[in-house]
Each structure stands twice: as C-alpha cells, then as structure tokens.
C-alpha cells in the first residue's frame, strides 16, 4: 500500500504542531464537506514576518491530517511571501507518496487553509 | 430453488478481472450502482445494431421497431412491480429525477403554507433536497421521523406526526441506502391514507433486492433506478397511481408530452407521455427491460434469499472484528449492506486500503449527510454492499482486508 507509508501513518496518528495557538497573527478554518475532513490553523510571525509557531487542529482521513502535520513543520521559519508561494507540487513532494485523483482534495486541504490564513481570508469563516 | 452463483457470475463479464496485479476484483459497491449482465449489454448492442430510430410518430420500419422495443420494456417494468396499468410507468433518468418530478409536479400543485410533509432522518439527499427547495418557496413544513436505537424507523413518532394533522404527503425510503433498514411501507401507506396523506416511496435500494408489488404496498408514487438493478445508467422509473398522475401537471415541457400546441398555449398528452418530454433514453429503456427479464428469470425470491444470506454472513463476520461498529439493524429489518466504522482508521483510509486488495467499497456519507452528522454524529462510514453475484468468499476477503487496515494502523 504505497499511500500508507509508515511516516504518513505516524504523522496521522501523532501530528506535529497539534493544538491551536492562543497568541497568533494568522488564522483560518476550512473543510471538505463531502468527506468530512476539516482543519483549523493558527500561525505566529516574528517582527520580520517569519513563522515562529504553528498550531492546528482538525479531523479527517490520514492523508489530510498527515499533510497538515508535515506542512506545519515546513512553515516554521518561512516568510509570509514564501508561504504565499507554496504550490500544490510542494505539498505532494512533502508527502512523497502517490496520491490518487480522488484523494487529492484530502492532501491539499492543508495548503488551502494555510493560503487562506496567509491572505487573511480566514477571519470571515 | 437457490441461485447458482458461479453461473450468475459468468453472466457479468466485468467481474472477471484483476484490478491490481494479483488482486481479482471483489465488487462490494452495488448499492451505488450494480454491474451489468451480458444479457443487458447484448440488448443494448442489439438495439443499436438493428432497431434504433426515434420513437413514436416515425412512419418507417426502424421507428416502429424502436417504439415497439421501448414500449415492450414498459410492459415488463409494469409486470415486474405489479402496477395495475402500463400508463402508470413513467420513464425518467433515475430515482433522483423521479423524486424531483414528484416534488415539482405534485408538490407544487398541492402544497402551501400550513401543510406538512413527513420525511425521515434516514433519507437519501434525493428525497430531502427537492422537498427543502420547494418548502423554501412555498412555506410548507417538513417533519423528519427519527430512528429508534435499533436503527429502524420510529413508528410512534410517525404516528404522532400524522395525528397532528395537515399532513399531505409521507415520503420515505423503502430501504435505507446506508443502513439497509427495510421500512414497513405497506403499514405506513395505510396509516398515511387514514390521515388523508399520500405515500411516496423511494425504491432505489428495494427494487433490485426484493419483490416489490406496488398494488400490495398501496403506495401512491414510487421511484427507482435502472442502474442499481442490472440495467443501464440514464433510465429510472416513476410509478404512480393513474388518478394521481392524471391530476398532476407536467414536469417538463417539449416534444412528445403535448397533444396540441398553438401559439396561445398547449394541451397535454395522455399518460405516460405527459411526463416524457423530448427524445427519451430509448436504448436505456430497452436495457431496463432486459434487466427485468434477467432478474425475473433468476427469480426475485431467490435473489432476495441470497442477499439475506450474504448480509447475515457479513454481519456475523464483521461483528467479530475488535472495535468495529456496525450501523445496520438486526434481521429481518435489513437488506443489502454492511456499514461500519473502525476506531483507528477514517472511512476513506479504510476504502483506499481495501481497494489496494482489489475490494471495491464506498466511503463517505453515501448521500445521507443528515443521518451521519445529525443522527450518528460521525463524518463518514464505510459501506460494503452486496448483490446477486457476490459470494461468502468475497465477504471473507473483505474481513481479511479490514484486518490489514487494522494492522497498518496499529503497528
């Protein structure tokens, strides 16, 4: 089962950066209503607009949760502009597993939420 | 007589393939759409090879052949569900279109503020959303019958709703597509009629699995799809009692559904054509006729008995799996499906891993979001659904597959 490699299941079961930050600069929430995956993320920046802390919570399939866990690690130290420049391919590379067409939405929910936070779109949720 | 399953399987060419190297297909997703026997595939091919032209009014051989095949299929469907008249069988695209036809035609003509329509929390979106759309416009009230703890319909609540009055329609699924719960539609129709309401049945999951006799049920309107009963996609049926269909205004306007058109207005064709605007799905109608022949040839009693045997076996085997939760009622109130969750894995992960073993199941809310989110309070379930070509060996493979999921998530 190529998709369910050990590190993916580890991230799914023991997600990094778990739990929302009390002190944050960016925030967003989104879900895939069709499959029930949902993610909420908080991000703290320093004076140079670099990410110093990420906190998130959510529920859903292993792919969506592992993707959020791995992306959270990746965000640390990045600037706001670097976050805005993140692409779909960056996430797929991060996951490092073949993602089928039907699971692409699960894999990319984290990116969608992070982008919403970076562009300040998360507060209207 | 029992079904010779190996012979039945030979009729379904699609079943004989490996979907991954070394992994033969185990198709447990027939509640979403069934596979097609050679007899149905051949009927479609024969029709297109020998008989196709547009139906009705064509004064040539092929048009007559097409019309004949199209109308003979209607007769077969009539006999299959024991409708009193052939005019009571309306071809639609699928169950969803049949339900929309009911709501937009009967509902629009008969419902207004103060009226009540009774649905239930186990309904498929096809029997929820059309009513909600019309209710937002017309202001009538929708009441949802809850479930009992044993996952059957709460009949006391239904009776209480009926006693409150103003109920114009009771529209319920005959068999739940998620839990397989078989609702006592005959008893419900009697109660509804006593209260002055009509009864509408969503038969999408019932007609493929059991002998449905619309006169015995005494339902007023009843909908089902061809593609879940070995027929093609793109063809559905709306059954309605003649008096009710006669009183209903047309759903769509166009060719075929009129008797006379002037620039000042039109008059409607007689049943069933009043509801069949435009060139219909002719080949698909021929296909549903072939499906009816196929199922009748095997015998619906035998198909039902095989389905019950499989479901019972599946439930017994799945119940042995530690931590697994089943969402189905006990026998005899269940049909066709085994729906479950595991504590360690999300439904989509389960389905994906089962697929890698060649096992096709469905994961999600199965077009019944309220049942999942507002009744069970879970985002998704995994559903294995069985049909006449499935075997107990395939259930064993499902169980082995679930243990593989558990192993992967508990290492």
pLDDT tens digits, A41-66: 999 999 999 999 999 999 999 999 99
Q: At A125, is the pLDDT very low, low, confident or very high (cuts 50, 70, 90)?
A: very low
Closest Cβ opposite residue A106 in set B348, B409, B411: B348
Check: CB of residue B234 under 8 Å from CB of residue B88: no
Report the alpha-carbon distance of residue A73 to residue B148 in Å, rounded.
46
Report the alpha-carbon distance of residue B237 to residue B198 in Å, rounded.
18
In a domain? residue A125: no
In the beta sheet, which residues pair with residue B360? B27
Check: CB of residue B322 under 8 Å from CB of residue B144: no
Check: CB of residue A44 under 8 Å from CB of residue A24: yes
The answer to whether A35 faces chain B, any CB pair under 8 Å, is yes
Cβ–Cβ below 8 Å for A61 and B408? no
Per-position DSSP letters for A53-88, written without gaps between them: EEEEEEES-HHHHHHHHHHHHHHTT-BHHHHHT--H
Q: How many CB atoms neighbour CB B362 within 10 A?
A: 22
* Domains assigned to chain B: 5-30+299-405 (3.90.1150.10), 42-296 (3.40.640.10)
Report the alpha-carbon distance of residue A52 to residue A64 in Å, rounded.
23
> Average pLDDT, stretch B234-239?
98
From the candidates A4, A34, A38, A59, which should be mutated to test the interface with B, based on the most B CB atoms within 10 A?
Answer: A4
Closest Cβ opposite residue A4 in set B347, B353, B363: B353
pTM of the model: 0.94
In a domain? residue A99: yes
The torsion angle over the Cα atoms of residues B131, B133, B136 and B141, rounded to 10 degrees, is: 10
| pLDDT at residue A32 in the model | 86
Q: How many CB atoms neighbour CB B96 within 10 A?
A: 21
Q: What is the CATH number of the domain that holds A68?
A: 3.90.1010.10
Q: Which residues of A touch B346 (CB under 8 A)?
A: 60-62
In a domain? residue A85: yes
Report the alpha-carbon distance of residue B36 to residue B230 in Å, rounded.
5
User: Is residue A121 pLDDT above 80, yes or no?
Assistant: no
> Average pLDDT, stretch B208-233?
98
Please state the φ and ψ torsions of residue B116, each to the nearest 5 degrees: -125, 135
- Report ipTM (2 d.p.): 0.86
Cβ–Cβ below 8 Å for A13 and B348? no
Q: With a CB-CB cutoff of 8 Å, which residues 330-389 of chain B face chain A?
A: 345-349, 352-353, 356, 363-365, 369, 372-373, 379-380
Number of CB pairs, chain A paired with chain B, less than 8 A apart: 46
Pick from B134, B300, B154, B112: which is nearest to B213 by CA? Answer: B300
| pLDDT at residue B112 in the model | 98
Q: At B289, is the pLDDT very low, low, confident or very high (cuts 50, 70, 90)?
A: very high
In a domain? residue A86: yes
From the candidates B341, B348, B364, B372, which should be mutated to test the interface with A, based on the most A CB atoms within 10 A?
Answer: B348
User: Is residue B3 pLDDT above 50, yes or no?
Assistant: yes
| pLDDT at residue B58 in the model | 79
A109/chain B closest Cα distance in angstroms: 15
User: Is residue A15 pLDDT above 60, yes or no?
Assistant: yes
Q: Which residues of B are catalytic?
A: 367
User: Backbone dihedral region of B174: left (phi > 0), alpha (psi from -120 to 50 degrees) or beta?
Assistant: alpha
The number of residues making up chain A comes to: 125
Cβ–Cβ below 8 Å for B346 and A62? yes
pLDDT tens-digit map of B352-368: 999 999 999 999 999 99
Per-residue DSSP letter, B228:
T
The answer to whether A3 faces chain B, any CB pair under 8 Å, is yes
pLDDT tens-digit map of B137-180: 999 999 999 999 999 999 999 999 999 999 999 999 999 999 99
Report the alpha-carbon distance of residue B73 to residue B86 in Å, rounded.
10
Q: How many CB atoms neighbour CB A99 within 10 A?
A: 18
Q: Residue B75 is inside which H or E element, if any?
A: helix B61-80
The residue in chain B having the minimum alpha-carbon distance to the alpha carbon of residue A13 is B409
The pLDDT > 70 percentage for chain B reads 100
Q: Which residues of A touch B408 (CB under 8 A)?
A: 1, 4, 9
Q: Which residues of A touch B405 (CB under 8 A)?
A: none
Q: At A122, is the pLDDT very low, low, confident or very high (cuts 50, 70, 90)?
A: low
- The rounded mean pLDDT for chain A is 91
Contacts of B54 (CB under 8 A, 6+ apart): B63, B66, B279, B282
Q: At B378, is the pLDDT very low, low, confident or very high (cuts 50, 70, 90)?
A: very high
Cβ–Cβ below 8 Å for A4 and B352? yes
B333-348 core/surface letters (b: 16 or more CB in 10 A; e: else): bbbbbbbbbbebbbbb
The residue in chain A having the minimum alpha-carbon distance to the alpha carbon of residue B373 is A36
In a domain? residue A29: yes
How many structural domains comprise chain A?
1
| pLDDT at residue B411 in the model | 75
The answer to whether A1 faces chain B, any CB pair under 8 Å, is yes
| Structural domain boundaries enclosing A107 | 2-118
The residue in chain A having the minimum alpha-carbon distance to the alpha carbon of residue B364 is A35
Cβ–Cβ below 8 Å for A9 and B364? no
Q: At A1, is the pLDDT very low, low, confident or very high (cuts 50, 70, 90)?
A: low
In a domain? residue A76: yes
> Average pLDDT, stretch B296-315?
97
Cβ–Cβ below 8 Å for A1 and B364? no
Q: Where are the alpha helices (DSSP H) in B273-343?
A: 282-298, 300-319
Q: Residue B261 is inside which H or E element, if any?
A: strand B258-262
Location of structure tokens 């059954």: B239
In a domain? residue A123: no
Strand B236-240 and strand B221-225: the pairing is: antiparallel
Cβ–Cβ below 8 Å for B348 and A63? yes
The residue in chain B having the minimum alpha-carbon distance to the alpha carbon of residue A14 is B409
């Amino acid at each position: 089962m190529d998709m369910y490699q050990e590190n993916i299941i580890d991230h799914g079961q023991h997600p990094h950066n778990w739990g929302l930050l009390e002190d944050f600069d960016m925030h967003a929430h989104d879900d895939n209503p069709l499959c029930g995956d949902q993610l909420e993320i908080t991000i703290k920046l320093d004076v140079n607009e670099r990410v110093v802390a990420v906190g998130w919570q959510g529920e859903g399939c292993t792919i969506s949760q592992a993707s959020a866990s791995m992306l959270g690690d990746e965000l640390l130290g990045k600037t706001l502009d670097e976050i805005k420049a993140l692409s779909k391919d960056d996430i797929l590379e991060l996951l490092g597993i073949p993602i089928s067409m039907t699971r692409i939405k699960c894999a990319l929910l984290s990116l969608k939420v992070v982008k919403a936070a970076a562009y300040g779109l998360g507060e209207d949720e | 007589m029992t079904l010779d399953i190996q012979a039945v399987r030979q009729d379904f060419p699609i079943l004989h393939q490996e979907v991954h190297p070394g992994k033969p297909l185990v198709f447990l997703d027939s509640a979403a759409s069934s596979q097609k026997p050679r007899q149905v595939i051949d009927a479609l091919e024969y029709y297109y090879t020998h008989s196709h032209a547009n139906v009705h009014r064509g004064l040539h051989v092929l048009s007559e052949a097409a019309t004949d095949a199209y109308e003979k299929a209607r007769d077969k469907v009539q006999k299959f569900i024991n409708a009193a008249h052939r005019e009571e069988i309306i071809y639609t695209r699928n169950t969803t279109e049949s339900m929309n036809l009911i709501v937009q035609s009967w509902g629009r003509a008969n419902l207004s503020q103060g009226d009540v329509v009774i649905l239930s929390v186990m309904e498929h979106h096809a029997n929820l959303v059309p009513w909600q759309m019309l209710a937002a416009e017309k202001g009538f009230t929708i009441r949802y019958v809850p479930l009992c703890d044993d996952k059957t319909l709460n009949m006391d609540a239904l009776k209480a709703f009926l006693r409150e009055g103003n109920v114009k329609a009771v529209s319920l699924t005959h068999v739940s597509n998620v839990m397989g719960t078989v609702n006592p539609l005959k008893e419900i129709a009697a109660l509804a009629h006593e209260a002055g309401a009509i009864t509408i049945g969503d038969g999408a999951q019932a007609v493929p699995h059991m002998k449905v006799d619309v006169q015995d049920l005494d339902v007023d309107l009843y909908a089902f799809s061809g593609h879940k009963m070995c027929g093609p996609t793109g063809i559905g049926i709306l059954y309605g009692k003649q008096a009710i269909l006669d009183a209903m205004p047309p759903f769509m306007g166009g060719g075929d559904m009129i008797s006379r058109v002037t620039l000042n207005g039109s008059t409607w064709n007689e049943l069933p054509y009043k509801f069949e605007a435009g060139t219909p799905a002719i080949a698909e109608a021929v296909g549903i006729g072939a499906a009816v022949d196929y199922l009748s040839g095997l015998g619906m009693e035998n198909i039902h008995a095989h389905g019950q045997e499989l479901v019972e076996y599946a439930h017994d085997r799945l119940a042995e799996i530690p931590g697994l939760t089943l969402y189905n009622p006990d026998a005899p109130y269940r049909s066709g499906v085994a729906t479950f969750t595991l504590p360690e894995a999300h439904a989509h992960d389960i389905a994906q891993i089962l697929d890698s073993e060649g096992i096709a199941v469905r994961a999600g809310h199965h077009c019944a979001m309220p049942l999942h989110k507002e009744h069970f309070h879970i985002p998704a379930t995994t559903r294995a659904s069985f049909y006449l070509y499935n075997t107990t060996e395939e259930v064993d493979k499902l169980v082995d597959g679930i243990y593989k999921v558990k192993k992967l998530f508990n290492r």
